[in-house]
Amino acid sequence: MKVAVVGTGYVGLVSGTCLAEWGNEVVCVDKNIDKINDLNQGRLPIYEPGLDVLVERNRAAGRLFFTSDLARAVEDAAVVFIAVGTPSRPGHGDADLTFVYMAAKEISTHLAENAVVVVKSTVPVGTGDAVEKIIATKRSRDSFSVASNPEFLREGVAVKDFLKPDRVVIGVSNARARDVLMTLYCTPLEEQNTPIVITHRRTSELIKYASNAFLATKVTFINELADLCEQVGTDVRDLALGVGLDSRIGTSFLNAGPGYGGSCFPKDTLALLRTAQDHGVALRIVEETVAANEARKRKMALKVLDAVGGNVDGLTIAVLGLTFKPDTDDMRDAPSVPLIETLQRFGATVHAYDPIGTENAARILDNVKLYDDPYACAHGADAVVVVTEWDSIRRLDLGRLRMVVRAPALVDLRNAFEAGAAEKAGFKVSAIGRPANRQLEEDNAVPLQLDSAPAPIVRNIVETMGR
């Protein structure tokens, strides 16, 4: 099937490449000529594990093309995906649909007969209706269809999420669109028994926002429980495991940390709230989730202050990990940014390291010295703060790290290290959801015989939670 994808950002590039991997002829189009030139030379605008291999393979096979010529991309395409950005409007919180509507207008004169236009971008309820009206100004309504097919891609594992999804959601208003999209998805996913949800277009649009709001709430819930764990002398990792193994709850997104960030949760929760307000509906839980998450990001700076005695003025703080999560170069709404800004306002000098995200971080952070080596970053630091749990950071030699710092404060906002190992290396550890006073934890410990416990199994479960 010939497929066109309008937009070569994160969603468009991953979706287009994976559709080509399934054997379709895919043309990705973007107005940014420099980006198209880079893509045609094998240079990707984003970091996503495994994506570069798929792009090269499908370009070589003649299934994947990149162009700035919209007419070439859209003509003869049975399906046209709109996968452009929908950022939050500054000061409003609702999704800016400028690019979606512009794409709809521009493709309207090039659509093939009976083409299905699919909104892949995350959009508020009713956007598909508006797209249909825009296209209908140029074409007869019975010559095209508009559908909703939200993406559920997690950065860092997006290729797997597309090729082996938990489910596919398709929102349609007629049988023709349903049949075309079922053909597109059914054959490659048939052996996987992937659930395909066929629903109304508006319901499909709302499913994406509801999913992200629920997951954001889950993250915020475990973060608040982590604060309680610190005060009562318990370990949030054990709590999360005990709660998450309930099949009704699940272990994913129960890793306590400095707050959620990224391209989806922050903007999608705000957009959902704006939609609810526009319709006179109160979403109190989502409102509190957004407020609690924003407060938490800056609260993490106070955790650093506590670790160094209450004052960072004149001190050097080394921040390890800048992106909002591992295995991505995405700095959008990353918790590291408000943490660093708050520490700077308190008078700290900040050094920072990230294995992939340094280039994007440099565009956002001011007066931060960026390093390409974690030990050089920590050299002479009065505290080391772990913000993103990259595997390369988890594997750091703690003994070597202790030798290069000036003071032994280690603030582990991702529980990347075992406290015992870090303390053995000479660090004073302040972690998330664990008592600040290790003696309190020891005093409250029950003298259980754990030698025969299936520790590797439990450890594997803990390490995969939230990923």
- Which residues are known to be catalytic? 264
User: Is residue 218 within 8 Å of residue 256, measured between CB atoms?
Assistant: no
Chain-centre distance for alpha carbon 5: 21
Closest CA to 119 of 146, 93, 138: 146
Q: What is the spatial distance between Cα 242 and Cα 358, in angstroms, rounded to a whole number? A: 37
* Of the candidates 124, 177, 186, the residue with the CA atom closest to the CA atom of residue 150: 124
> Would you state the structure tokens that stand for residue 158, as one six-digit string?
């997006």
| Token couple for 440 | 């309190």
H helix runs in 312-454, sequence order: 336-345, 358-364, 374-378, 391-394, 398-404, 419-424, 438-444
Q: Which of 55, 57, 62, 58 is nearest to 35 (CA)?
A: 55
Confirm if 411 and 438 have CB atoms less than 8 A apart. Answer: no
Rounded to 5°, angle at Cα 51 from 266 and 162 = 60
Distance (Å, whole) CA 41 – CA 43 = 6
Q: Which residues fall within 8 angstroms of residue 102, CB to CB, at 6 or more apart?
A: 84
Query: Length of the chain, please?
Result: 467
In single-letter form, the type of residue at position 291 comes to A
Q: Which residues of 305-335 are buried (b: 16+ CB within 10 A; e: fewer)?
A: bebbeeebeebbbbbbbbbbbbbbbbbbbbb
Contacts of 393 (CB under 8 A, 6+ apart): 320, 321, 355, 374, 386, 416
Other beta carbons within 10 angstroms of residue 208's beta carbon come to 24
DSSP structural state of residue 87: P
Torsion of Cα atoms, 63 then 64 then 66 then 69, to 10°: 40
Q: How far from each other are the two terminal CA atoms of the chain, in whole angstroms?
A: 33
